[in-house]
Structure 1
Amino acid sequence: MMGPVRSSCIILLLCLSQYASAQERQTFENASWQQRDSMITTLYQSGALQVVGVMIEDAYNAERSIDTLSEAFAVFSLWQGVKNLTEQNLVDAERFLTESIETFARLPEKKSGRYLDALLNMADLQSQLQNGVELLHYRDRALEELESDLEGQEVLYHETLLESLDDAIAYGEYEKAQEYGRKALRFAQETFSNQSDEYFQSLVAVGKIYLSQGEERRASNLILQAYELAKRYLPADHINRVFYGNNAVNILKRLGRYTAAEETYQEILQFFEENTSQKNERIYPAVLDEIGAFYEELGDLTKAYEYYEKANVLFALRLERTDPLYIKSQLNVGNILRKQAKYTEAEVYYQDALEHSLNLYGEKNWSEATLRDNLGTIYYELGQYEQSLSERLKVKEIAEFVWGPNHQEFAYALLSLGKTYEKLERIDEATENLETAFTKFTQLFGRNNYRVYESAKELASFYEEIDPGSALEKYEVAAEFIIYYMQDILPLFSESDRKEFINDFNKLISRFSAFTLQNQTQLPKASQSLHNLLLAYKSVSQIPDLASISAYFANPSPDLRKTYGQWQIIRQKIVSAQSKTIAEQKQDESELTALIEDIKRVRQDILPVFKSNSFSSATQVEFGTIKSKMDANAGIIDFYQVLHYNKMDDSYQDNGSYLAFITPGRSSDTRLVKIQLNRNILQTEQITNQSDYYEQIWKPIEEDVINSDKIIICPDGFLNKVSFYALPTKGDELLIEEHEIVIYQDLASYNSASPGTDPNNVLMFGSADFYDNVTDSSEMPSLILKINPDAIATETVRNAHPISQPSASNTEINTLSSYLAKKKKLVEIRNGKAANKINLYHLLENDRWPVIQLSVPLFFVPSSDSTGLQNKISSFQSGLALAGSQSTWKTGILEDEVKDDGLITAEEIYNLNLAETQLVVLPLVTINSTTPGSAIFNINKAFLDSGVDKLIYTLWPIAETDRTDFLELFYKYLLKSNSVDEAFQKAQTKFRKKKDPRIWGGIILSN
């Protein structure tokens, strides 16, 4: 930050003599202020800080006695500030730097480079003080000073822009960050060229802005572009190739593209093999450490250990044992060994790290607490509970000493202690520590906080055998948090960031389910609590991923950009507030409840779905309310897919386990039944395997609802692929022949009185030209998305899951539209190339369409994530294929002139204006044995959340003539009654008399 060094014989003499003799001191005093400044600079940069301090003091006092309005005084005020900043005397540093800056500002003559030094040092000081407003203020002043005379300072100017950008991100000033980013990109391109290191740095920096706001796709475009350009244009031995590679890996991991991330790491390693001199730097073992962390994240502990160990050996050769990097490396190897259950070996590394940490930091510090906690965990896993207790008692003592008894770290120490006391069967002490930890977390952060959830989980498990009632209370606390977090917090995270939480929530639900099944007789309230949890959980399991959606807006309006910017600012405040205590939130004016209400208001102006009553009210419903609306003779069967929990070895399996909550009537109690599906069902199609479908799905619950005239069924997971109408019963009849069957996608939206549907305006899409993309950019809708297929799935995966094109002529659309037109109904038809996404957006924006028929096929690709529920795919991985979709599917990256990708993902359905639509008909949504039930659920739920009342869709291929006949009959009855339910039931009844269940059984009406 200080200016260039100027050498002289006097400087060398002073360096050697350490400013000791009176003669040399006289020489310094007799030198000009510029010479004294140069001497101090040389000694400061050589590390002679003690001598420099005396010289600075002398020079400052001398100039102060002469003239406090001079450049010399300003320079030595700056040196006083630098000296105090180096010594961490921040109060004095701020006083001297302020004095220097104010003096420079008052000088009439041209300011020297030292004024810039003063501004940059003040910015660094404000950074340490965590004063974001002042930090950016001084960064801006430094940039203005540089802009006044850029000659020879181009690199410094660019570096300052990037540092300012990082600071703006850190303090949530995204508009400022974007301003710095635009300047940096433009300046780098104009001054250094778009093939320069500076330009690549700017691309990464702007990518970080998008990344911090959850816009992973937009960030990835820039960061991956920077890496490719660096490989092409930087010299083969340029170390910044590693920097760009690391950034590329980080974004690829966030996108779930682990294979590409692994390949990038191999390219980085190849760089070091080809440039062996670079291996001598600290960066090489640091890269090995990062690769170890990558494989640890993937669960490949063998490879993780290999790279961690290589890094550890190199750190041991190059670093002092007290170097923090070496200590961290020891910790990494120990952690992997612990995860591999090699506890004795892990203990050696932890003990070594502890010894050197104590030498570096002394006793009773955070590092010692971390290492002792790890040792306590090892002894706990080894069953050496007394030794574990000894370490964890020390952790508690350190936590109380370092942070005090009202800090989260102290509460965590109590939580670990409680678990250890439980193993020692010291129940009273276990209870005291676990309950105290829970209470402290609740007092510090409020009930809706992840720390409270974690402690509630531990207490629920602890109480299961000794006090089931208390266990239920804690399960209810955990359940309350899950719904709150899924509804209000997780939607602010990108989909990749949600996975870890959702996996954990699924495991808690699995444990709660096992507990309830075991205790439902003596604790009937447990079944009710679990049902309410699952009811709300399904409602919030698919929530619009606004951060990801925004990255694909093809033509956002200025108002949309502005509103989304407001959403981003509030989002960042909420994310930051999550880690703060209630007191800190009040102090910072960042109370979560108020911020959440603010962001809900803002998001209503972004996507239509956020204004939908269906979306906003679903999670507020409990089963008791639904039950009160039931018809007296109606029963409900509510299915939920859950992980199977094995308490003996604390393991979880996705093995086709389902819970069925069965309520035979309005005045009846609800019974909980577990259903187990095997491969005979999961890998076969219903129509060819009716007997197994009956045995595994219907037989276990048949007797409960045998007297119910109407049965309301809410499927989940694989069961979304089942036609309950066509399921056989024990009397060899079909279910629809013995009961009225009503299907609900999400029981939270249940309403016994369905609104009427007036089909005066009908919109129909069909016979799409799948191979012709739209290139006309006129009147592009503001909310339309354009997604490169590579962002949905790799080419290999897309080729394995092509978009099917059911044989469809114009016959279906022409027949149905002609019939409706004869009845004097307005029918708008789009087919061929016109059956495109742009037209769909415009038609929905400009008119009211109570009925929409989209005769277009389903597409889906399997999830690349191996940690979630089997075949659980995201709402970006399934959707409807419109005009141009086949061309898109076969192309990795779309050309700029392509304006319409032809793919309406389930996620994009949230962008459509469907508030006035009562019915959507999807006659070509067909599936097979490999299609996951979540593909259907994602699409249906998106339509229903967006305000649609009912959906008609097909489960398997049905001949066009049969499909047309059924729908023509349905529309005939709909025109007579304005009731979708009645019209569907009459059409189905008539078809059942003369058609095979293979035809009518695959046509489903869902609410």
Structure 2
Amino acid sequence: MQKLILVVFFCLIYSVVAFSQFGIGNSVLKKKAEQVLKNKLSEKAEERREGFDTLTFNYAIAFLDKTASFENKQKGEGLVRAAGFLIQDDKPKSDLDEARDVYEFGRLNYSLGNMFMAEASLNSAKYSYEQLNATSEPNYYKSIGILGLLYSDMGRFSKAEEFTTLAKEGWLDLQGDESIGYLAELNNYLVLQINMGNYLEAEKFTEELAEKLNRTGEENSLPFAIFLNNQAILNQYMGRSDRALELIQKCVSVAKEGLSENNGTYLQFLTNQAILEQENKQLEKAEETFNKALTLQASRAKLGKKSDPDYAHMQSNLAALYVEKKEYDKAEEALLTALDIYKSKFGENHLTTAETQSDLGNLYRFLEENEKAKKLLQDALYTKERKLTKTHPKVIQGQEDMALWYWQNKEIEPAKSYYKMVMSASLDFIKKYFPALSEAEKTKYWEQLKPRFFRYYNFALSEHRENPELLSELMRYRLATKGILLTSSTALQNAIFNEDDPELQKLYLQWIDQKRQLANAYALSKEEIEEQSFNVDSLERATNTSEKQLSAQSDAFSKAFENQNFDYQLIQENLEETDVLIEIIQYPLFDQSLTAKNGYAFIAMRKNQETPAVVVKTDGDLLEGRYYAYYNNVIKQKLDDQYSYDQFWKPMESIVSNSGKVFISPDGIYNQLNLNTIQKPDGKYVIQDVDIRYIGHPNDILFDNKERNQSGKLAFLIGDPAFNSETISQLPGTKKEIENISKFLSKEVTVQQYMQKNATESNLKKVASPKILHVASHGFFLEDQNLQDNLMGIQLQYIQQNPLLRSGILLTGASGDKASGSGQSFNQEDNGILTAYEAINLNLMNTEMVVLSACETGKGDVKAGEGVYGLQRAFIVAGAQSLVMSMWKVDDTATQKLMSSFYQNRLNSRDVAGSFRKAQLAMLKEYNHPYYWGGFMMYSR
């Protein structure tokens, strides 16, 4: 029947043309034909109209730089609407019919981009339904919903939120929480929250929407594809680029089943996929996907492509790829094309236009075409400030763009003014978003945000001489963000142990169990995972969800962040008169943009010092490459060191002269070498002239040492494991080491010893806040370039994802003889290999000191501003107040002597760090080369 009516419809059109050609256009025959068709169409339209009123909705679609909408039409709806307009000239209509026509007219104008006409019509339709007391009509809430989308497109977010919320709640009351109307508006509210920068709020709605779409069987529908796209964009904004790419790939796959390749919505999904491929550094794939989308768009639009916003959207995002590939002429051409289209289609004062102005302005700033850049950046910021809230991330980015422009053009005062707003807002972002994220998500979010701090460091360090207040601000931001990921992890651990909340503790135990299951799963081979039908990805997601729930419920991070000291002068006041503290900052150097080259700033603080002293080295790449390799070689080969002094210590020597204690808060490569071992030109070592104390954060100076007296009365000593291996050598010196230090410790605490068959991983995991934990065994750390198919049975794919799996300690039963996890079961927790990933879950919340008397326990992945991701990080997060670890493969006999001397010294002094230094100086007399005594470093609060 539908095909027949369509044939009649097109025949009528042909007949009308024919009658006009032969001069009989007003004939009786024509009128009769029209009437017959109208009757047929009216009959069919009325039959289906009510259903279409209920089933057709507009779904907001999130994009990385704009919002669009997709109208989910049901089969045959075009006929119904065509019929509606065709028969409306002479048939009597009810008031409800009139209201419906006004709605249809508004919907049509919205789809055509006629925003003001659409707004007037839809508001008129809304008013009509209200006057008719017909608010239970589906089109009433559809009018409101489209108004919400319209206001969102126009950047009027408060109005958008008002109308979208009204539509969402209306559909909930009218048809329930699984109705298509409710799900559509829930989706639209989700996108609105993304556009407003409320990412945590948006994430709550993704979970609800996913659950309902799955329950209603919509997994293969276009609305589900749209949801996947929106979820992907949210994940990207929150720093989860890899997850975002997975979601958009699934979105494109689902959409391809329901849309043709040249459909506008499909092309927009494809463009998002290209952007996310670029974000994941898959540049060749990204360019291939972009070109595919552009080709399809050109064939779709033909002559009209130059005025199509979708074409502009692709061009503006392709420009970002060209910039990354350093093809700047192509980038400029693409952005100019996009900007012309946006101005023509949306006008000068639209957010989409502003985003492209920002991109083009920053390109010109990079190319030093400063006047072009300024106008574009100013116009973009003006639009964003008018359309968005003051603290919206896009406004803050626009303000930083202006700060960089003014700095580049030597106008320091306005640059300072803009940066003050930018950095304050950035700290607020951290406080707002971090509490409800897992550590993995915090890491990715911080990776996105920290380049802003690096750019500010460059600005402040270049201008602080004429503007000393910049140095104070730099230190404020440094104190707030150094080790921020570590701060959030330890804050969470502290909260769980200290809060009297059974439900929270139950959730914590669930999380710990999930992490233990993961640790075991990582040690299974692929075959064993398949045999046990175990889903590692599912467990990872569940573990991640538990951690997020813990963070959100405990408020631990936000409280820790609020209580954290940001005032470097308070640190100065707590130093002794002769002490000096040096904060080392590794940062990428800025040259129009952040480069791949690193610099190092050494900022020295003393008591009563008005302004910190600063030394900057811009050859950080040499420090991290050539000179560190040289330092490592002379240590291992036991040679004299002729170059390390000039490179690593001399820059600081002038600012530590005439000092008592020198507190070093390291960063970058300074996490991987021991300054005490640097040989001076007179042949002496730095340790002989300078009392260096390593701390993890400048605020460690404020730590109350009296708290250490509250720790327990137990020393937990584990060593001399019985390895199940021909390739792992036994360590007879560790037995003597454990026995010797037991004699000293037994005078103040109860000592528990675990050696040989008792030196197991399971026994170590039972530790419960001892005063002292001492581990004497083999340690390991594997560099990226040395990764094999597996490490101690842990699969390569997991090792690459998590650096905490690359380092650990070998205990009884460890075997390096097998190349896989063969023979292990999923429930086996005692394989003799304690990774840093597992150590992070130890209960050390009241532990005064942890000593890792093993090789390379201080090694790990070094991240700027975050320290070492390895055993060092694991034991600090677990709660250790002081930590002794090794930087290279240490001598067994020398280590035993060093540890015995240290514990003997410690009996007579509360100065733990001083006792350790005294032991090293004593060893220096017996073993002149630092290979024997300098491998161990102590970090102490």
TM-score for both structures, normalised by structure 2: 0.65
Report the equivalent of 2:887. Answer: 955
Per-residue CA deviations over 1:785-805 (Å, capped at 9, x if unaligned) read: xxxxxxxxxxxxxxxxxx999
| Gap change, CA 1:315 and 1:202, over 3 Å in 2 | closer
| Gap change, CA 1:531 and 1:960, over 3 Å in 2 | same
Show the 5 A alignment for 1:792-807: 807=731
Which residue among 579, 603, 621 is the counterpart of 1:661?
603
| Gap change, CA 1:353 and 1:716, over 3 Å in 2 | closer
**Structure 1 residue 970 corresponds to structure 2 residue 907:** no
| Gap change, CA 1:21 and 1:202, over 3 Å in 2 | closer
- CA distance in structure 1 between the partners assigned to 2:394 and 2:316 by the alignment: 33
Report the equivalent of 2:774. Answer: 853
Counterpart residue type for residue 998 of structure 1: Y
TM-superposed CA distance for 1:487, in Å, is: 5.6
Show the 5 A alignment for 1:738-749: 738-749=689-700
Report the equivalent of 2:484. Answer: 540
TM-superposed CA distance for 1:628, in Å, is: 2.3
| Gap change, CA 1:329 and 1:381, over 3 Å in 2 | same
Show the 5 A alignment for 1:12-91: 36-38=46-48, 45=79, 47-48=81-82, 51=85, 54=88, 58-60=92-94, 88=118, 89-91=121-123
Per-residue CA deviations over 1:869-925 (Å, capped at 9, x if unaligned) read: xxx998757654577998999569997646789887768777655432221222225
- CA distance in structure 1 between the partners assigned to 2:357 and 2:628 by the alignment: 47
Counterpart residue type for residue 627 of structure 2: I
Counterpart residue type for residue 645 of structure 2: Y
- Are the equivalent residues in 1 in contact too, given 2:141–2:170 (CA < 8 A)? yes
Report the equivalent of 1:652. Answer: 595
Report the equivalent of 2:920. Answer: 988
Which residue among 847, 859, 864 is the counterpart of 1:917?
847
- Are the equivalent residues in 1 in contact too, given 2:236–2:244 (CA < 8 A)? no
Report the equivalent of 2:253. Answer: 243
- CA distance in structure 1 between the partners assigned to 2:473 and 2:900 by the alignment: 45
- CA distance in structure 2 between the partners assigned to 1:479 and 1:1001 by the alignment: 40
- Are the equivalent residues in 1 in contact too, given 2:403–2:419 (CA < 8 A)? yes
Counterpart residue type for residue 275 of structure 2: A
| Gap change, CA 1:56 and 1:621, over 3 Å in 2 | farther
Per-residue CA deviations over 1:929-977 (Å, capped at 9, x if unaligned) read: 9974876476546655665331111222223343333333433443454
**Structure 1 residue 324 corresponds to structure 2 residue 309:** yes
TM-superposed CA distance for 1:28, in Å, is: 7.7
Report the equivalent of 1:627. Answer: 572
- Are the equivalent residues in 1 in contact too, given 2:99–2:125 (CA < 8 A)? no
| Gap change, CA 1:926 and 1:459, over 3 Å in 2 | same
- Are the equivalent residues in 1 in contact too, given 2:883–2:939 (CA < 8 A)? yes
| DSSP 3-state at the match of 2:919 | helix
| Gap change, CA 1:619 and 1:897, over 3 Å in 2 | same
| Gap change, CA 1:141 and 1:611, over 3 Å in 2 | closer
- CA distance in structure 1 between the partners assigned to 2:765 and 2:211 by the alignment: 32
| Gap change, CA 1:484 and 1:298, over 3 Å in 2 | same
Counterpart residue type for residue 724 of structure 1: L
TM-superposed CA distance for 1:48, in Å, is: 1.9
Per-residue CA deviations over 1:458-481 (Å, capped at 9, x if unaligned) read: 4344446xx6x7766766666555
- CA distance in structure 2 between the partners assigned to 1:940 and 1:355 by the alignment: 54
Show the 5 A alignment for 1:711-750: 711-750=662-701
- CA distance in structure 1 between the partners assigned to 2:684 and 2:369 by the alignment: 61
- CA distance in structure 1 between the partners assigned to 2:44 and 2:394 by the alignment: 62
- CA distance in structure 1 between the partners assigned to 2:803 and 2:312 by the alignment: 43
**Structure 1 residue 503 corresponds to structure 2 residue 535:** no
| Gap change, CA 1:732 and 1:358, over 3 Å in 2 | closer
| Gap change, CA 1:863 and 1:208, over 3 Å in 2 | farther
- Are the equivalent residues in 2 in contact too, given 1:767–1:831 (CA < 8 A)? yes
Show the 5 A alignment for 1:883-898: 897=827
Per-residue CA deviations over 1:699-736 (Å, capped at 9, x if unaligned) read: 34335434334332332211122222322233322222
| Gap change, CA 1:731 and 1:748, over 3 Å in 2 | same
Which residue among 929, 936, 939 is the counterpart of 1:1003?
936
Moved more, 159-168 or 822-831: 159-168
Which residue among 754, 758, 783 is the counterpart of 2:705?
754
- CA distance in structure 2 between the partners assigned to 1:764 and 1:744 by the alignment: 24
Per-residue CA deviations over 1:290-341 (Å, capped at 9, x if unaligned) read: 5653565467878766654454344223213233323334445566567767
- Are the equivalent residues in 1 in contact too, given 2:780–2:807 (CA < 8 A)? yes
Counterpart residue type for residue 293 of structure 1: I
**Structure 1 residue 825 corresponds to structure 2 residue 749:** yes
- CA distance in structure 2 between the partners assigned to 1:313 and 1:447 by the alignment: 31
Per-residue CA deviations over 1:391-440 (Å, capped at 9, x if unaligned) read: 759x84x997xx69x6168xxxxxxxxxxxxxxxxxxxxxxxxxxxxxxx
- CA distance in structure 1 between the partners assigned to 2:242 and 2:361 by the alignment: 41
| DSSP 3-state at the match of 2:616 | strand
- Are the equivalent residues in 2 in contact too, given 1:725–1:735 (CA < 8 A)? yes
- CA distance in structure 2 between the partners assigned to 1:538 and 1:816 by the alignment: 38
Report the equivalent of 2:62. Answer: none
Per-residue CA deviations over 1:50-77 (Å, capped at 9, x if unaligned) read: 626838983535xx8xxxxxxxxxx998
Report the equivalent of 1:671. Answer: 613
| Gap change, CA 1:681 and 1:490, over 3 Å in 2 | farther
TM-superposed CA distance for 1:619, in Å, is: 3.9
The percentage of counterpart residues that share the same residue type is: 17
TM-superposed CA distance for 1:750, in Å, is: 0.9
- CA distance in structure 1 between the partners assigned to 2:133 and 2:490 by the alignment: 44
- CA distance in structure 2 between the partners assigned to 1:209 and 1:546 by the alignment: 30
TM-superposed CA distance for 1:926, in Å, is: 0.9
- CA distance in structure 1 between the partners assigned to 2:715 and 2:182 by the alignment: 55
Moved more, 314-323 or 875-884: 875-884
| Gap change, CA 1:37 and 1:899, over 3 Å in 2 | farther
TM-superposed CA distance for 1:635, in Å, is: 3.4
**Structure 1 residue 407 corresponds to structure 2 residue 400:** no
| DSSP 3-state at the match of 2:88 | helix
| DSSP 3-state at the match of 1:694 | helix
- CA distance in structure 2 between the partners assigned to 1:989 and 1:351 by the alignment: 67
Moved more, 934-943 or 746-755: 934-943
| DSSP 3-state at the match of 1:750 | helix
Moved more, 371-380 or 43-52: 371-380
Which residue among 615, 639, 643 is the counterpart of 1:692?
643
- CA distance in structure 1 between the partners assigned to 2:224 and 2:167 by the alignment: 22
Report the equivalent of 1:587. Answer: none
| Gap change, CA 1:448 and 1:546, over 3 Å in 2 | farther
Counterpart residue type for residue 90 of structure 1: L
- Are the equivalent residues in 2 in contact too, given 1:560–1:606 (CA < 8 A)? no
- Are the equivalent residues in 2 in contact too, given 1:638–1:660 (CA < 8 A)? yes
| DSSP 3-state at the match of 1:501 | helix
- CA distance in structure 1 between the partners assigned to 2:747 and 2:353 by the alignment: 81
**Structure 1 residue 315 corresponds to structure 2 residue 257:** no
- CA distance in structure 2 between the partners assigned to 1:314 and 1:533 by the alignment: 47
| Gap change, CA 1:471 and 1:283, over 3 Å in 2 | closer
Per-residue CA deviations over 1:227-252 (Å, capped at 9, x if unaligned) read: 8xxxxxxxxxxxx89426x9xxxxxx
Show the 5 A alignment for 1:188-199: 188=217, 197=220
- CA distance in structure 2 between the partners assigned to 1:542 and 1:495 by the alignment: 10
| Gap change, CA 1:919 and 1:350, over 3 Å in 2 | closer
TM-score for both structures, normalised by structure 1: 0.62
**Structure 1 residue 293 corresponds to structure 2 residue 239:** no
- Are the equivalent residues in 2 in contact too, given 1:714–1:745 (CA < 8 A)? yes
